[in-house]
């Protein structure tokens, strides 16, 4: 079979990748576009974890909400809102101190401004963006596709993308990376890769702007988050539901004491409830090597499961949660989701380097410097900005 050739390939179907596809289609661009995504579906760090065995299980295991802090808001939100893909986040937010006392919400860059959530789950955000894109022109999502190598074609004519076993996935005239995995040395420490694919490709191309972008992306540090997902039994859910909060922020001292940063209480289907316990950055840094073995990304990337270490991390977060709140989690189904790069740290990739026209490659995502950096807002804004810059070229 001939290798598929598309005008634009977007690696990653999180808020930025899906946002870019939607923004290009909204602006009338009808070229061929494919998104490649490691995960089972769209969402990235705004995904909703579902279960093949339990139709009622659906937990937002990354961001439980997102916020827009400045006007004008990203244009994409209007259509998402009017079609019901996003709704206002209406859950009460409280805080906890190191003595276990509940208080008012704390000032926090993640909860200032207008608060939104995907509907019915957080993945509604990316599903909605894809639906907007697909309405205008075919925009396939190739899920379960890990891009492992980026091969520049001769004379800057575009790119060939290779999968994990070296097989060619597709060729594209233009390429956009919406995540930093292929650009950052964490792929070497986490998965034992011998190279950083973007750096290798940049060295092959030898084009100065791409070399500068690859170096800047490789230098971005990130905070990790070890998230415990609890699907509550009916008996223990009753006490949790009586809590005055749906999102609980731990203040700095409470984070230090319990190793927890935030907890969200989420309604699932058929009257079931779940909790997502986000660890503190310090806790996640201490347990960086411990993956959630049920994560499709970890499986596809060949991360070796360590059941004992995983069980210890799960038990530790569960114990600290019970100690902090004095509530039971007995009978809950427990899973771990480890986000190795949950929050990029400033300054990020300068927006001037987010498009390298001579190499036909661009970058979007929350790691691009600018308003909303490190948050969904930044991912969406970077996607819209890149769409504007790409349109006259592609
Ligand atoms: C626990 C947690 C809580 C958070 N809370 C908040 C919050 O309250 N508010 C807020 O605004 N933000 C929050 N965030 C941050 C927010 O989720 C991100 O800023 C946003 O989702 C980033 O979107 P993105 O598209 O830039 O990146 P991502 O969502 O990471 O998307 C990149 C995608 O690319 C895919 N990918 C990467 N490499 C490859 C490859 N080689 N081949 C194929 N696919 C690839 C990944 O699988 C991923 O789906 C939180 C994040 C986490 C982890």
Does the pLDDT at position 302 exceed 80? no
Average pLDDT over residues 229-248: 94
Cα–Cα distance between 175 and 35 in angstroms, integer? 10
Q: pLDDT tens-digit profile of 120-154?
A: 999 999 999 999 999 999 999 999 999 999 999 98
Res 156: pLDDT: 77
Q: pLDDT tens-digit profile of 346-382?
A: 999 999 999 999 999 999 999 999 999 999 999 999 9
CB of 176 within 6 A of ligand 1: the answer is no
Distance 180 CA to ligand 1 centre (A): 10
Q: pLDDT tens-digit profile of 50-96?
A: 888 888 889 999 999 999 999 999 999 999 999 999 999 999 999 99
CB of 146 within 6 A of ligand 1: the answer is yes
Tokens found for residue 11:
């690696």
Which position has the token pair 């009808």? 30
Res 201: pLDDT: 98
Q: pLDDT tens-digit profile of 3-27?
A: 799 999 999 999 999 999 999 999 9
Cα–Cα distance between 220 and 154 in angstroms, integer? 30
What Cα–Cα distance (Å) separates residue 113 from each residue in 16, 106, 230, 333, 377?
A: 20, 13, 29, 34, 11
| 159 or 302, higher pLDDT | 159
Protein residue closest via CA to atom 3 of ligand 1: 63
Protein residue closest via CA to atom 37 of ligand 1: 179
CB of 227 within 6 A of ligand 1: the answer is yes
Protein residue closest via CA to atom 20 of ligand 1: 376
320 Cβ neighbours under 8 A, 6+ residues apart? 258, 259, 260
Protein residue closest via CA to atom 14 of ligand 1: 63
Q: What is the mean pLDDT of the chain?
A: 95
Does the pLDDT at position 2 exceed 70? no
Q: pTM of the predicted model, to two decimals?
A: 0.97
| 185 or 303, higher pLDDT | 185
Res 1: pLDDT: 46
Tokens found for residue 152:
């520049």
CB of 89 within 6 A of ligand 1: the answer is no
State the pLDDT confidence band at 294, using cuts at 50, 70 and 90: confident
Distance 181 CA to ligand 1 centre (A): 11
Distance 337 CA to ligand 1 centre (A): 13
Distance 221 CA to ligand 1 centre (A): 15
State the pLDDT confidence band at 306, using cuts at 50, 70 and 90: confident
CB of 66 within 6 A of ligand 1: the answer is yes
Cα–Cα distance between 174 and 361 in angstroms, integer? 6
**Which domains are seen in the chain, by residue range?**
5-47+124-220+345-390 (3.50.50.60), 90-116+222-344 (3.90.660.10)
Please name which of 382, 376, 377, 337 lies closest in space to residue 49, comparing C-alpha atoms.
337
């Amino acid at each position: 079979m001939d290798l598929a050739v598309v005008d634009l390939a977007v690696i990653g179907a999180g808020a930025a990748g899906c946002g870019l596809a939607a923004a290009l289609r909204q602006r009338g661009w009808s070229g061929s576009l494919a998104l490649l995504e490691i995960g089972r579906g769209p969402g990235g760090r705004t995904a909703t974890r579902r279960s093949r065995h339990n139709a009622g299980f659906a937990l937002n295991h990354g961001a439980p909400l997102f916020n827009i802090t400045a006007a004008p808001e990203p244009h994409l939100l209007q259509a998402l809102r009017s079609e019901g893909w996003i709704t206002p986040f209406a859950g009460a937010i409280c805080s906890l101190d190191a003595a276990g006392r509940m208080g008012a919400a704390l000032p926090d860059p993640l909860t200032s401004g207008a608060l939104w959530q995907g509907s019915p789950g957080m993945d509604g955000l990316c599903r909605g963006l894809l639906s907007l894109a697909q309405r205008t022109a075919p925009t396939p999502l190739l899920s379960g596709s890990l891009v492992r190598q980026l091969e520049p074609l001769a004379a800057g004519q575009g790119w060939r993308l290779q999968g994990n076993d070296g097989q060619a996935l597709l060729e594209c005239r233009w390429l956009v990376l919406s995540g930093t995995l292929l650009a950052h040395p964490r792929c070497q420490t986490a998965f034992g890769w011998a190279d950083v694919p973007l750096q290798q490709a940049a060295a092959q191309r030898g084009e100065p702007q791409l070399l500068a972008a690859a170096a800047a992306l490789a230098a971005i540090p990130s905070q990790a988050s070890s998230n415990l997902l609890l699907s509550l039994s009916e008996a223990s859910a009753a006490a949790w539901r009586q809590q005055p909060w749906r999102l609980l922020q731990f203040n700095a001292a409470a984070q230090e004491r319990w190793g927890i940063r935030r907890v969200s209480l989420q309604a699932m289907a058929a009257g079931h409830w779940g909790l997502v316990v986000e660890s503190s950055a310090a806790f996640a840094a201490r347990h960086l090597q411990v993956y959630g073995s049920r994560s499709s990304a970890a499986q596809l990337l060949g991360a070796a499961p360590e059941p004992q270490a995983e069980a210890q991390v799960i038990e530790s977060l569960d114990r600290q949660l019970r100690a902090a709140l004095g509530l039971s989690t007995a009978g809950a189904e427990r899973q771990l989701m480890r986000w190795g790069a949950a929050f990029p740290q400033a300054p990020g990739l300068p927006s001037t380097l987010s498009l390298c026209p001579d190499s036909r490659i661009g970058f979007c995502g929350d790691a691009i410097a600018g308003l909303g950096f490190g948050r969904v807002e930044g991912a969406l804004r970077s996607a819209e900005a890149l769409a504007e810059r790409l349109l006259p070229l592609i």
